[in-house]
Structure 1
Amino acid sequence: MECVVSLEGLAESQHGQVKYAAAFIDEHIQDIWLENGSLHIVHQSQKTDQEIRERVQRLINRFSGGDFGFKENLLFEHHGPKPYEGDIIAELVNKKIIKVLEPGLFIFREPFSSLMRFFDYSFVTKIAGKFEGLTEESYPAVIHCDTLNKTNHFTSFPEHIHFLTHLREDLDVIETFSQTIRDAGGWKQDDLLDLQETMPKPKFAMNPSTCYHCYEGLQNETLEGDGLVVTAISKCHRFESKNHGDFGRLLDFSMREIIFVGKPEFVKENRLKSIEYLKELAAEWNVDSMMEIANDPFFTNDFQVKASFQRNQEMKYELRLTIPYVNKSIACSSVNFHSNTFGNAFNIKMGKRNAVTGCVGFGIERWTFAFLSQFGLDEAQWPAAFREQYHAWQQKSL
């Protein structure tokens, strides 16, 4: 069944946000797309078309009402050559360089896997390494729900959360579960026991953002000097429903971050430096890109207030790389200022005051996909500086 909802009256800049959020209105949605100012939804839901339309209208109201007061501000643009115009995903799949397990979940093989490692190496050496006193940390892919609660992730991005749980510590439950699987001839999701009865309430979730562990690790500490700079890479997980079919939206992805914690001027100054370093790198590698003011995709009824505040205070910038064959761009890096939100939440002190924080994020898979979408797999087409640096890194890695 196809339901079509007109987005007339909604600013075109918000059409994508409505499409993204609409994927979560019913679990039986099969496909969703924008066409000629309308949202098309194909579904097998028991809900009527009218009920589907009413849910979409709730989202339209969320993103259209009130005064956003958005600033339009482009920090810089760099126009690169983009010699490759093909469908890079199709080529990578055809050449068995990536294996799509399901939308948003991939296995990466050479040369994609090597390029991922090179990008991460470059972000550490060319950007993170320029900050005095840099330290590196290693984080788990799992995070405590109490920690997510302190970051307000449950109220700001509830749709993303992947909870973790396990069978109850009960011999009867464990043996019955195992026998049920055996009797069914293997794992069949629809034939499982009532998980509410066999599994406890979750204590942990998959980590959605690298920097959360940094703040968790500094809880109740008092920092010395002006602050600290930490870098880390970790696997992150965000459930995005049918949006995983969009270019670059992964269920499981690698995020390198540079995290600043300290006095306000220390964090703000380092954040400005990181913007300059990103601009330099984009120009050096000749990638077609731009950096602009952005906001997080808050999944809440107070979206307008939060998004408007972020943009007006210029708390988030995104470096977006062009994807030629779909004629759009995707965010590959973000530069964020959180004020004292996390310093307050985790009681991180700078003297008698709570610390402020900021971070720079690099989506490793996104950078790799975006680069290849512009230049393809033929290394002869790659920018000279990038090619030389990549080959030098390969020699070091042997």
Structure 2
Amino acid sequence: MECVISLERLAESQHGQLKYASAFVDEHIRDIRIVDGFIHIEHESPLGSDVVSERVNRLIERFSKGDFGFKENILFENKITTPYTGDIISELIDSKAIKVLEPGLFIFREPFSSLMRFLDFSFVNKIAKRFEGMQEESYPAVIHCETLNKTNHFTSFPEHIHFLTHLREDLDVIEAFSDSIRKAGGWNKDQALELDKNMPQPNFVMNPSTCYHCYEGLQDETLEGDGIVVTAIAKCHRFESKNHSDFGRLLDFSMREIIFVGKPDFVKENRLKSIEYLKELAVEWEVDSLLEIANDPFFTNDFQVKASFQRNQEMKYELRLTVPYQNKSIACSSVNFHSNTFGNAFNIKMGKRNAVTGCVGFGIERWAFAFLAQYGLDQEQWPTTFREQYADWQEKSL
């Protein structure tokens, strides 16, 4: 079945947000396309096309409220004519450099895995270490629900959440579960296992963002001086439904962050420095890219209010790298200012006032995908500076 819905009420700049969100209106959606001012939804929903259409129209209403439009506001462009225009994902699969387990879930092999390690090494040494007093931390891949509640993630991005739970601590339940799997001949996702009855309410979820653990670790602390700079890399997880088929949109990904916590001027000044460092790196590595004002893809009914506030206050910038064969760009780094949102939530003090926070993030896999989409796997085609730095890193890391 197919629903075809007019987008005349929606600004073209918001079509991408609608396409993204429409993947979550029904679990039986098979394909989403936007063509000539209409959104086409192919589905097998038992609820029927009328219900699917009504839900999509609710999203259109949500994103079209008010006169807020997503006008481009580009702060920096590094225009480069790059040599590679092929389908890099297909080439990586064919060369067995990546193994696709399912959309958005990959195993990374050489040379892709080495490129990821080099990129993270470079982000630490070229950017993070330029901040005086920088401290490195290591975080778990899971985060407590109570912590995520304090960040408002449950209300802002509920569609992303991967809940974690386990079988109840009950011998009968554990043995019955094991027996049912054995009798069925193994795990079958369609098998009726009464998991809801046999599992407790989750206390943990997979961590969706590296910096949350930093704020959790500083809860109820009073910081000295002007503030602190922390860097960490963590595995992050976000469920994005059919959107995992999009280039670079992974279910499980590595996020290096540099996190600023402290007085307002300290955080703002370091955030501005990080923007300059990002621009320098884009030029040095000769990546076709741009830096623009952005907003988070809020999923809630107050989308327009939150997105408008972020943009008007310039609280989020994204460094986007071009993907030539798709004629589009993807966000590979973001620079964020949170004001005192997390300082308030976690009671992090600077003297008698709550701290403000900011961060700069690097999506390691996205950087690798986008770089290879511009330059390919043939290292002779890579920019000279990047190639020399990569070779030097390889030699020293042996």
Relative to the length of structure 1, the TM-score reads 0.99
Trace 1:16-31 onto structure 2 (pairs within 5 A).
16-31=16-31
1:271-291 Cα shifts (integer Å, max 9, x gaps): 000000000000000000000
Per the TM alignment, residue 2 of structure 1 is displaced from its structure 2 partner at its CA by 1.8
1:376 matched to 2:376: yes
Q: Structure 2 counterpart of 1:309, which letter?
A: F
Q: Structure 2 counterpart of 1:87, which letter?
A: D
Residue in 1 that maps onto 2:124? 124
1:35-92 Cα shifts (integer Å, max 9, x gaps): 2221111111012212111111100111111132656421100011221000000010
Figure out how many residues of one structure are paired with residues of the other and give that number: 398
Q: What SS does the aligned partner of 1:191 have? A: coil
1:89 matched to 2:89: yes
Residue in 2 that maps onto 1:349? 349
Contact 1:71–1:311 at 8 Å: present in 2 too? no
Distance 2:221 2:281 in 1: 35
- Distance verdict in 2 for CA 1:70–1:312, change over 3 Å: farther
Q: Structure 2 counterpart of 1:156, which letter?
A: S
1:201-224 Cα shifts (integer Å, max 9, x gaps): 000000000000000000000000
Distance 1:248 1:27 in 2: 22
Residue in 1 that maps onto 2:239? 239
Residue in 2 that maps onto 1:306? 306
Q: What SS does the aligned partner of 2:225 have? A: coil
Distance 2:170 2:80 in 1: 60
Q: Percent of pairs identical after alignment?
A: 80
Residue in 2 that maps onto 1:323? 323
Structure 1 vs Structure 2 CA RMSD: 0.8
Q: What SS does the aligned partner of 1:21 have? A: helix
Q: Structure 1 counterpart of 2:217, which letter?
A: G
Trace 1:128-277 onto structure 2 (pairs within 5 A).
128-277=128-277
- Distance verdict in 2 for CA 1:376–1:29, change over 3 Å: same
Q: Structure 2 counterpart of 1:306, which letter?
A: K
Distance 2:69 2:225 in 1: 37
Distance 2:67 2:39 in 1: 23
1:150-183 Cα shifts (integer Å, max 9, x gaps): 0000000000000000000000000000000000
Contact 2:11–2:69 at 8 Å: present in 1 too? no
Gaps in structure 2 of 5+ consecutive residues:
none
Gaps in structure 1 of 5+ consecutive residues:
none
Q: Structure 2 counterpart of 1:321, which letter?
A: L
Distance 2:221 2:67 in 1: 39
Q: What SS does the aligned partner of 2:239 have? A: coil
Distance 2:86 2:72 in 1: 31
Distance 1:4 1:72 in 2: 28
Distance 2:229 2:69 in 1: 33
Distance 1:70 1:348 in 2: 33
Residue in 1 that maps onto 2:12? 12
Distance 1:206 1:165 in 2: 11
Contact 1:71–1:312 at 8 Å: present in 2 too? no
- Distance verdict in 2 for CA 1:51–1:342, change over 3 Å: same
Q: What SS does the aligned partner of 2:213 have? A: helix
Contact 2:264–2:355 at 8 Å: present in 1 too? yes
Q: Greater shift after overlay, 185-194 or 241-250?
A: 185-194
Distance 2:283 2:155 in 1: 38
Distance 1:313 1:128 in 2: 25
Contact 1:67–1:304 at 8 Å: present in 2 too? no
Q: What SS does the aligned partner of 1:344 have? A: helix
Q: What SS does the aligned partner of 2:236 have? A: strand
